[in-house]
Chain A
Amino acid sequence: MTAFSNQSLMRNKYYSWIIKNLFSSWVNSLMTVVAIIFIYEVGTFFLNWAIFGADFRTNFRGELITDRTLCSKNISPGEFGACWAIIYARWDQFMYGFYPIEQVWRVNFVYVLLPLAIIGILFDKLPFRKYFIYFTFIYPFLAYFMLYGGPGLSVVGTNKWGGLLVTLFLGVTGIGLAFPLSIVLALGRRSKMPIVKSLCVVFIEFIRGVPLITLLFTANVMLPLFLPDGVNPDNLLRALVAVTLFQSAYMAEAIRGGLQAIPRGQIEAAQSLGLNYWQTTRKIILPQALKIAIPPIVNTCIGLFKDTSLVLIIGLFDLLGIGRAALADMTWTKLYYEVYVFISLVFFIFCFGMSRYSLYLEKKLKTDNS
């Protein structure tokens, strides 16, 4: 009985919400109807294209698709669904680039451990967090050893890396290296020492004033000039340098915003207790400033993650580069939609994840009493 009345109460709640928000006036009702029709049309079209009418490994005749002429839409004029076979066929390239296929377990190993390496940073109440953080510091060396090779493992040059591996490598390493650098830059920019301050200002403003593409070209062409003869860093490393510098300048500005939000009294209280500059910075200023700066920091991270796809112009095959390479292959050419939708989806998953994490943090910090 009570369950029943609860149910009808709930239903009433829904009804009144719908009436109030969707059908409150003639104009509102009309817009609601138009919007529903629009969403329905676009939604059904997309679902039909992407799932219900699509070929995955086989076409509508049940044959395994091995090249684009076997896609349903290329056989029968009535078919229009996506032909995902290109993704299956190129899956290894999308994930690993040109990494030797018998060695891809090494990449998988690194992929699987990546969440364990970042989870400790993301969640401060995680049980055994200390050990996760230790692992975060070990991970880059472990990952480099696994990916590049060394004693006991055959060397796989970075020219063989590609696809998601390059995208993640540049994104994660770029962000990871830029973070400490950006803290130094942000602190330097507020320094009372004129030389340190102007160096930081010039660096940040210069990097922010130049498009990433230009930096990538510059790093590609100019980096060898600054290094001793015979040292010839590979393309991926050059791109990493450019990406890191670029990201650090933007992140530094985000952090500076956080630093500016800390009341002067905090520094004075720390000083009056006898804490020196570094103790004050580490214990009082940064913990508060970084907390405030999290949303803009994540924002720059999302931006950078997407911008890594620009490396295709200096000849690296990131996810997008691999996709374009697949389209250039005569066996699979012209399946643009499938390739670009797939790449978009992969980028979306990572960026949406970062965005949700930022929202979660904002909410958490708002309710935090600290």
Chain B
Amino acid sequence: MERVIQLEKVNKWYDDFHVLKDIDLNVQKGQKIVVCGPSGSGKSTMIRCINRLEAHQKGQIVVHGTELTNDLKNIDMIRKNVGMVFQQFNLFPHLSVIDNISLAPIWVKKMPKKEAEDIAMSYLEKVKIPEQAQKFPGQLSGGQQQRVAIARSLAMNPDIMLFDEPTSALDPEMIKEVLDVMIQLAEEGMTMLVVTHEMGFAKTVADQMIFMDEGKIVEQATPDEFFNNPKSDRTKLFLSQILNH
């Protein structure tokens, strides 16, 4: 198996606050990893370090054999291959849906406009909202916006996708349409690192579950073991809270 992401003894501080403590993580090509944990546990920070939206201070992060340092060339290269979907969608409100998606292919990949728009349309069809192409993000529902955001990331043809609580800002009835797209993506073999509390989704797609608390990886296991036979008390407590609400 090809190793695509490797974190070794990664540490990060916000001033005095130690957010990530000696994080070790390996992701193989095609693996789907679901990260969960209480808020403030560092799970978002960890995946944001992988495409350098946050910088780590100690340890090593290697993506596709390229180490993340302050070298902008490396950062650019990694970002082109790593897509990210945010909790708040972060669509560009001044651009139409199709422009949102074709922007990066045109400017980063220097693709002709026509070709980029064709690609954008094909991804819009994939997330099942091609009819919204000419609208602006403000005219769409939350679920639709998040699907556009996924299409926008996919249009860069990344081989790793990071999801940072993609359904946390959505109304309950819209969560399914977004998860369906993510499940489809998982079935196609995309390497995915997903921060989420959607345990049903985790059971369906995850190869590995990671539980984080206070900046540390407390437990890493297959979903079967994680849900049925968790090792640490902290995990048990968390699962009992999240599954019984």
Contact: B92 with A266, CB < 8 Å?
A: yes
**Given the complex, which residues of A lie within 8 Å of B80, measured CB to CB?**
274
User: Which residue, of B107, B135, B149, B156, has the highest number of chain A Cβ atoms within 10 A?
Assistant: B107
Evaluate contact between B53 and A271: CB separation under 8 angstroms. yes
Docked complex: A89-134 residues within 8 A CB-CB of B: none
What 0/1 pattern do residues 95 to 137 of B give for CB contact below 8 A with A?
A: 1000000011001100000000000000000000000000110
Tell me, in angstroms, the Cα distance from A288 to B156 when the chains sit together: 23
Contact of B136 among A270, A279, A283, A370 (CB under 8 A): A370
Q: List residues of chain B with CB within 8 A of the CB of A265.
A: 86, 88, 90
Q: B107 near A279 (CB under 8 angstroms)?
A: yes
Residue of B nearest to A282 (CB): B107
Q: How many residues of A contact B (CB 8 A)?
A: 20
- Are the CB atoms of A274 and B90 closer together than 8 Å? no
Check: A231 CB closer than 8 A to any chain B CB. Answer: no
Q: Inside 8 A of B82's CB, which chain A residues have their CB?
A: 272
Shortest beta-carbon distance from A122 to chain B in Å: 18
Q: In whole Å, how far is A268's beta carbon from the nearest beta carbon of chain B?
A: 5
Main secondary structure of the interface of A (DSSP, over half): helix
Number of A-B contacts (CB under 8 A): 67
> Which residues from B are CB-within-8-Å of A274?
76, 79-80, 104, 108, 156
Cα distance A125–B171 in the bound complex, in angstroms: 36
- For the complex, is A291 an interface residue (Cβ under 8 Å from B)? yes
A288 to B108, CA, bound (A): 20
Which residues of B lie under 8 Å from residue A266 when comparing CB positions?
A: 90, 92
Contact A275 B108 (CB under 8 A): yes
A353 within 8 A of B: no
Would you list which residues of chain B between 148 and 185 have a CB under 8 Å from chain A? 149, 152-153, 156
A291 to B153, CA, bound (A): 26
Chain A CB within 10 A, most for which of B53, B80, B91, B138: B53
B binding-site residues for A, Cβ under 8 Å: 51, 53, 72, 76, 79-80, 82-84, 86, 88, 90-95, 103-104, 107-108, 135-136, 138-139, 149, 152-153, 156
